[in-house]
Chain A
Amino acid sequence: MTASAATTRTQVATGRRLPRADRLALHIAIVLILIGWLLPTLGMLVNSFRPAGDVSATGWWTALTPTARFTFDNYSHVFDQAGIGNAFLNSLFITIPATIIPVSIAAFAAYAFAWMSFPGRNILFVIVVGLLVVPLQATIVPVLNVFRTVGITGSGSAVAQALPFLSVWLAHTGYGLPFAVYLLRNYMGGLPKEVFESAEIDGAGHATAFFRLVLPMSFPALAALTIFQFLFVWNDLFVAIVYIGATNGTKLPMTATLANLVNSLGGDWQYLMAAAFISMALPLVVFFAFQRYFVRGITGGAVKG
């Protein structure tokens, strides 16, 4: 690293002490890094709009000339033939409850951890912190066994027929809880004590205090957590293929369907690219719309596993 890279923003703030040549080098370095970072996604995006023949014959960068042809055929193909439309709906059905349930249950628990006293409170919370890093892989064999016995996974049982995603909702809730409880408890614990005292004077119960005071005041943490969990579940592959089954075609979310397409479509890049972009569209919108909260969720919970 060069000396210019090591300087700090103080200099920017207190009149640019960097020589002109160094500033130019700085801008060039940053622009090159960003181009390098965006190039992979850009190539995908361009190819998803090109006709099949062109994609396999020439590189995507040749499409940056005025004579290039573009088409929406790839998108209509993956919607009609590859089941991407259905998978998109499945992803929504999986992600919405798998976000609401853990955030709510974690909020109940975090409120108790932060504002009620009971024996074993500290040791229980330390266990929650420890559970942050448990690898999912270590949990699936026994959980699958119980799910099969109870009949909420697989295609045979009545419960799985009626509520095909129940197993994934519960699994994402269990796996998301340590981080959710950790983040919310730390935030709720920092709320001013006076609020609760005045609420008790007014004779309000815990339910009222929780819904009227704690939840609204914890909005930044709740928003961060909700967005984080939403993206985590939407982008998840492992939990989906384990509890729904990699071959259970019509019930799979976007990620698993896309992973299957990689095998079945192989070299048909234009379709893969279109499918990949559809799977990214919603997370990208969520990301750009709520970036502030997303960043807070990450910096606030850096110990998440």
Chain B
Amino acid sequence: MDQRLITAIVVVIAVPAVLLGYILLVERVLGLVPERRQASLRPWLWILPALLLLGFFLVYPTIATAIRSFQDKTAAANFIGFANYQFFFSSPDTLVALRNSFIWLVLLTALVVVGGLITAVLFDRVRYESVAKSLLFLPLAISFVGAGVIWKFMFDYEPAGQTQIGTINGGLTALGIGPASFITDAPANTIWLIVVGAWIWTGFAMVILSAALKGISPEILEAARVDGASELQLFRRITLPLLSPTIAVVATTMIITALKAFDIVYVMTSGNFDTNILALDMYHQLFDFGQPGRAAAVATILVILIIPVMIVNIRRFQAQEAIR
């Protein structure tokens, strides 16, 4: 209990005091240096904590991981060239993980973008739009672990003939279609796991696309209507092109999400039944198989796959800055 008390005091008092104290200290120290040096020194001191943490948690370890991927599993970390990558591209287990991550990338992105687009357009046309949006958006507030538990139960399977307590198999049985073992039957099980991901993320896409949809000028659409365009033509020729930058933002976000996906698979199958994916394979290599070198290789492959998205993001940011 005293341990918890210490933690609570640190949480409530010490942490805010240190943060506030830092800036007050910086300004006090700056007061001591000559005035013309203050202006050049100040920005660096204000940025310093962020730079140190970014450097330590993101820049340094990403580079160190890339180096580690060329070393063996021992503490001495002897260089072994591309052996870890060779293992990655020749072991059936890791190749399944690579394949599944690719399926996640394509299918999750497609489901979320299309689902978000459909719901954004549909909800836009009714008066209870905000309620509908909150409900669709709700899964994003709960943890992926919680979502995994919920859907493990949705997919629950009892042998044919027994009472089905899982929601989906209960429904299927009622319709006279036999129960299916969604979680264990490969390769479809990966698709069912992706459906869980889509259940969570569709609300995210819907909110962003809906905001963009409201930015489209009604006059443009009205003018096209006067010229005799059908509603379908309006959507394909005007709405969709105007939404395409936003769709690109959603799609790139989902690509990263899919590549980094971990929790859902960890909770629902732990990567068994051919559902392994890259991020989870990396975790298993590191903590269960004692293979930090191979884990680093998987992580480095993830980084390489994400670099194009990083470049796209930076380009987009620079284009925005040019407009500001």
Residue ranges of A at the interface with B (Cβ–Cβ < 8 Å) = 1-14, 18, 26-27, 29-30, 33-34, 37-41, 43-44, 47, 55-61, 89, 93, 96-97, 100-101, 104-106, 108-109, 111-113, 116-118, 121, 124, 126-143, 146, 161-165, 169-171, 173-175, 177-178, 181, 189, 205-207, 210, 231, 234-238, 242, 246, 254-256, 258-259, 262, 269, 272-273, 275-276, 279-280, 283-284, 286-288, 291, 294-295, 298-299, 302-305
- B8 touching A93, Cβ below 8 Å: yes
Q: Is the CB of B7 within 8 A of A164?
A: yes
Q: Could you tell me the distance between the alpha carbons of A175 and B54 in the complex, rounded to whole angstroms?
A: 8
Task: Give the A-B pair count, Cβ closer than 8 A.
Answer: 369
| CB–CB B135/A34 < 8 A | yes
Residues of B within 8 A of A56 (CB): 165
Given contacts A273-B149, A303-B249, A135 and B279 within 8 Å (CB-CB): yes
Partner of A7, one of B11, B234, B260: B234
* Chain A residues with CB under 8 A of B163: 57-59
- Complex: chain A residue closest to B252, CB-CB: A303
Query: What 0/1 readout, one digit per residue, does chain B (189-221) give for beta carbons within 8 Å of chain A?
Result: 000000000010000100110010110101001
Q: Which residues of B contact A5 (CB under 8 A)?
A: 118, 121-122, 235
B58 engages A33 (CB within 8 Å): no
Q: Enumerate chain B interface residues (CB-CB to A < 8 A).
A: 3-4, 6-8, 10-12, 15-16, 19, 22-24, 27, 39-40, 42-44, 46-47, 49-51, 53-54, 56-62, 64-65, 68, 118-119, 121-126, 132, 134-139, 141-146, 148-154, 156, 163-167, 170, 199, 204, 207-208, 211, 213-214, 216, 218, 221-222, 230-232, 234-236, 239, 246, 249-250, 252-253, 256-257, 259-260, 262-263, 266-267, 278-279, 282-283, 286-287, 292, 295-296, 298-300, 302-303, 306, 309-310, 313-314, 316-318, 324
Beyond A1-B118, A280-B142, is A7–B313 a contact (Cβ under 8 Å)? no
13 residue pairs A–B, Cβ–Cβ below 8 Å: A7-B231, A40-B150, A89-B4, A93-B7, A104-B16, A105-B53, A129-B317, A146-B56, A178-B54, A258-B145, A276-B146, A286-B141, A305-B257
Q: Which residues of B contact A139 (CB under 8 A)?
A: 57-58, 61-62, 65
Rounded to whole angstroms, the CA-CA distance of A189 and B50 in the bound complex is: 18
Q: Which residue of the partner chain A has the closest CB to B62?
A: A138
Which A residues lie within 8 Å of B170 (CB)?
59, 61
Nearest-Cβ distance from residue B238 to partner chain A, whole angstroms: 9
Contact A100 B15 (CB under 8 A): yes
Q: Which residues of A are found within 8 Å of B218, using beta-carbon distances?
A: 8-10, 13
CA distance A101 to B40 in the complex (A): 26
Contact A170 B142 (CB under 8 A): no
Whether A273 touches B153, Cβ cut-off 8 Å, given contacts A97-B15, A100-B19, is yes
* B4 nearest CB neighbor, chain A only: A89
Q: A108-B23, A165-B7 are in contact. Are A134 and B143 (CB under 8 A)?
A: no
What is the distance, in angstroms, from B115's C-beta to the closest C-beta of chain A? 9
Q: How far is the CB of B148 from chain A (nearest CB, A)?
A: 7
Is A142 in contact with B64, judged by CB distance below 8 angstroms?
yes
Instruction: Find B149's partner among A44, A135, A165 (CB 8 Å cutoff).
Output: A44
CA distance A104 to B20 in the complex (A): 9
A38 contacts across to B, CB distance below 8 A: 135, 138
B6: which A residues are within 8 A, CB to CB?
A: 162-163
| Bound form: Cα–Cα A246–B249 in Å | 34
Report the separation of the CA atoms of residues A258 and B263 in the bound assembly, to the nearest whole angstrom: 12
